[in-house]
Copies of this chain bind each other. A is one copy, B any other.
Amino acid sequence: MTGSPVVAVAGATGAVGVELLKCLETRNFPLSKLKLLASKRSAGRTMTFKGEEILVDELTDASLKGVDIALFSAGSSVSKQFRAASKTAGAVMIDNSSAFRMEAGVPLVIPEINPEAAKTHQGVIANPNCAAIIAAVPLAPLHRVNPMARVIASTYQAASGAGWAAMKELEDATRAYLDGRPFAQQVLPHPYAFNLFSHNTRIDPVTGYNDEETKVHDEMRKVLGHAALRISATCIRVPVLRAHCEALTVEFERPMSPDEARAILAKAPGVRIVDDIAANHFPMPNEASEQGDILVGRIRTDVSDPSGKTLCLFVAGDQLLKGAALNAVQIAELLV
């Protein structure tokens, strides 16, 4: 791609779409034109980009004409629907949905980890699942030094993973709870005020894993290029607005000390160590929110593995930024 591309954001009015605009602006992405696209329902609104009001157009095949980079964040079915039109337009689709992530020939990219994969695209580059990104960014640099054999992840996932409506539902449900008013949830299947629940994706009746957990499993393997990685996730939605946390137990092929891990992580791009034992200060959603790094702390040798090969970590990352919009814009930066 030469010169400044025409960039489209499809799903511009969604929770991730808004962050895509912010990332393009704050990172001063070298675009010649920005097209904002959304469903018919959201079209006609305007959004501000670099002080300019831009009209949101309806996403149609024709709307993609002339686009060089199409950042899609409008769900799997929309991505599938517009894949052909994006290709016809000559655009590279950077897709935030799960539609094409595991498809052979579609690179699944985290720029800190496998930027070279982006070059192999055939019109679509997939942005990984947020829980996979937030675990992979700190684990990849450790894996490069000492390959991982096994990962056990328990997630603490924010409402933002289910979009604006879920974030609003968490706030509304909580306010109702505090006021002693009844509240009927409509977006998520369970009460969310001061409550948590297993991720509400379909569960494979054979394995017992839900789709979110399977995404973490499959996508970690693909992004790390480690098809034999043994990995198990338990994905839980907690009453937090926009940053995910994960408790990670990671077995390496050889012993790895916390100090060795800290030294590697201190130099790792996109990672910030927050591991202050004296102050009891570790990664938290409120500090992970609205910034791009994955926070890593509670770095310690797993006392349940006497071989010294296993570390425990606790990580936090902004689900809307590094878990979605920021990673997508970083992928776009690889193309220009």
A positions within 8 Å CB-CB of B: 150-152, 154, 156, 170-171, 174-175, 178, 189-191, 194-198, 200, 203, 205, 207-210, 217, 230-232, 234, 236, 238-241, 245, 247, 249, 258, 277, 280, 282, 284-286, 297-306, 312, 314
Instruction: Name the contact of A249 in the complex, choosing from B156, B232, B282 (C-beta under 8 A).
Output: B232
Q: Is the CB of B230 within 8 A of A236?
A: no
Decide if the interface of chain A is mainly helix, strand, loop or mixed. mixed
**29 sampled A-B residue pairs with Cβ under 8 A:** A151-B304, A152-B304, A154-B154, A154-B234, A154-B247, A156-B156, A156-B236, A170-B194, A174-B178, A190-B284, A194-B239, A194-B285, A194-B286, A195-B284, A196-B245, A196-B284, A196-B285, A198-B280, A198-B298, A205-B277, A207-B301, A208-B312, A209-B300, A210-B280, A231-B304, A234-B247, A236-B247, A238-B239, A239-B240
Q: Closest CB of chain B to A303's CB: distance in Å?
A: 5
Chain B neighbourhood of A175, CB < 8 A:
178
Q: Closest CB of chain B to A285's CB: distance in Å?
A: 5
Q: Is the CB of B240 within 8 A of A304?
A: no
* A217-B303 in contact given A190-B284, A234-B312 (Cβ < 8 Å): yes
Q: Closest CB of chain B to A14's CB: distance in Å?
A: 20
Q: Which 4 A-B pairs have the closest CB atoms?
A: A208-B300, A154-B154, A232-B304, A230-B304
Chain B neighbourhood of A190, CB < 8 A:
284, 286
Chain B neighbourhood of A232, CB < 8 A:
249, 302-305, 312
